[in-house]
Amino acid sequence: MEAATEIMEKDGASNIDRSRNIIATELLANAGRIIMESGGDRFRKMRRAVFTALQPKASESYQPLQIANARILMLKLLQAMTDLPTI
């Protein structure tokens, strides 16, 4: 395990790049998903943006939207239950 950690620490920059998967990145992910992004300037910018948005302080601001969406979901579930045919 220590050998693997040492390799990643020494050669991490050269190991970060992923081979380009045209179908996954271009067709399925619209070339905008960070997990499919190759290492480079665009990857660093995307990682920085995602990291900032997912910090605990930032995520607190999402709570009103999450509550509103949870209420909408509950109403739709209740409506779907009343629309079920009786046996």
- Which pLDDT score is estimated for 43? 75
Q: Domain limits of the chain?
A: 2-61
Q: Residue 40 and residue 16: Cα distance in Å, rounded? A: 9
- Which pLDDT score is estimated for 73? 96
- Token reading at 33: 């998903």
- Which pLDDT score is estimated for 45? 79
Q: Residue 56 and residue 78: Cα distance in Å, rounded? A: 32
- What are the pLDDT tens digits along the chain (87 aa)? 777 777 766 666 555 655 555 555 555 555 556 665 667 777 777 778 778 888 888 888 889 999 999 999 999 999 998 887 877
Q: Which among 42, 21, 17 has a CA at the least distance from the CA of 32?
A: 42
> Is the model's pTM score more than 0.85?
no
